[in-house]
């Protein structure tokens, strides 16, 4: 299947059009996305700091992680949903955007990091559950996790900057004068979300 066609179909759905045409929907989706990602990173950081022995050192790791992670996953679902809805409004541009691709790659890396941790130290958690910090590999996973999630936030913010600017700086059609372009601008220019 042709990816370009799929992306165009996503943009042409009535759902995407509805979000594009609304004054309030896109900013609200962005806001809920920020609330979701803040809860994702905020709660993951609590667990990472526990692994590093920086904070919550008196709490057994397993119980604490189980207690918090369900909120992390709930927030992640909210973030993924709002992110997907934003993606539909301008799928082709996002798909080709460097920071969008970087962010998706970073999300995969965060998942792999978590999976490796679960399959190694997670399997022998009883050995270090009540220790004030995790073994060295756990600390490494925690530092990696914090670094990846902060990078995800930076990449995400840069998507907003580069996609709205990319549209503003879109090249003029080959055979049109500057005046014609200005005259037709209000109706032809797609509504670019502010950065």
Partner 1 sequence: MKSFAEWLSTTALSVFLQNHNSWAIPTIQSIHIVGIAIVLGSVLMIDLRILGWAGMDQTLRQTANRFGPWLTGALWLMLATGILMVIGEPVRELITFSFWLKMVLVAVSAAVAIILQRAVRNHEEMVAKRRGVKLLAIVTFLVWACIIILGRLIAYDHVWGAWSPSAKQ
Where do the DSSP E strands lie in 6-125? none
* Closer residue to partner 1 (CB): 53 or 60: 60
Stretch that binds partner 1, among 2-10, 87-95, 154-162, 171-179 (CB under 8 A): 154-162
Q: Does 63 bind partner 1 (CB under 8 A)?
A: yes
* Closer residue to partner 1 (CB): 60 or 116: 60
Q: Does 38 bind partner 1 (CB under 8 A)?
A: yes
Which residue of 7, 41, 93, 144 would you call a contact of partner 1, by CB under 8 A? 41
Q: How far is the CB of 179 from partner 1 (least distance, A)?
A: 27
Judge whether 53 and 132 are in contact, CB under 8 Å: yes
Cα gap 27→134, rounded to integer Å: 40
Q: Does 85 bind partner 1 (CB under 8 A)?
A: no
Which residue of 27, 111, 173, 190 would you call a contact of partner 1, by CB under 8 A? 27
- According to DSSP, residue 131 is labeled S
Judge whether 27 and 13 are in contact, CB under 8 Å: no
Which residue of 8, 12, 17, 67 would you call a contact of partner 1, by CB under 8 A? 67
Q: Which two tokens stand for residue 64?
A: 């604490």
Q: Does 35 bind partner 1 (CB under 8 A)?
A: yes
Q: How far is the CB of 144 from partner 1 (least distance, A)?
A: 16
Q: How far is the CB of 22 from partner 1 (least distance, A)?
A: 10
Closest CA to 98 of 157, 155, 164, 171: 155
Contacts 24+ apart (CB under 8 A), 44-52: 44/72, 44/145, 44/149, 45/146, 45/149, 47/142, 48/142, 48/143, 48/145, 48/146, 49/142, 51/133, 51/134, 51/138, 51/139, 51/141, 51/142, 52/133, 52/134, 52/139, 52/142, 52/143
Stretch that binds partner 1, among 42-50, 76-84, 105-113, 170-178 (CB under 8 A): 42-50
Residues contributing to the site for partner 1 (CB under 8 A):
23-24, 27-28, 30-32, 34-35, 37-43, 45-46, 55-56, 59-60, 63-64, 67-68, 71, 150, 153-154, 157-158, 161, 194-195
């Amino acid at each position: 299947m042709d990816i370009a066609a799929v992306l165009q179909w996503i943009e042409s759905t009535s759902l995407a059009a509805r979000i594009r045409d609304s004054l309030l929907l896109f900013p609200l989706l962005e806001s809920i996305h920020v609330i979701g990602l803040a809860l994702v990173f905020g709660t993951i950081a609590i667990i990472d700091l526990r692994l590093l022995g920086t904070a919550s050192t008196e709490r057994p790791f397993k119980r604490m992680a189980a207690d918090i992670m369900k909120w992390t996953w709930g927030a992640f679902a909210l973030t993924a949903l709002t992110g997907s809805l934003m993606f539909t409004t301008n799928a082709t541009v996002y798909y080709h955007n460097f920071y969008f691709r970087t962010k998706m790659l970073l999300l995969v890396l965060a998942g792999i990091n978590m999976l490796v941790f679960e399959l190694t130290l997670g399997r022998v958690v009883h050995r270090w559950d009540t220790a004030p910090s995790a073994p060295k590999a756990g600390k490494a996973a925690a530092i990696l996790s914090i670094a990846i999630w902060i990078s995800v936030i930076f990449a995400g913010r840069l998507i907003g900057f580069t996609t709205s600017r990319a549209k503003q700086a879109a090249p003029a059609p080959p055979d049109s004068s500057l005046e014609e372009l200005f005259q037709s601008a209000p109706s032809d220019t797609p509504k670019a979300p502010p950065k």
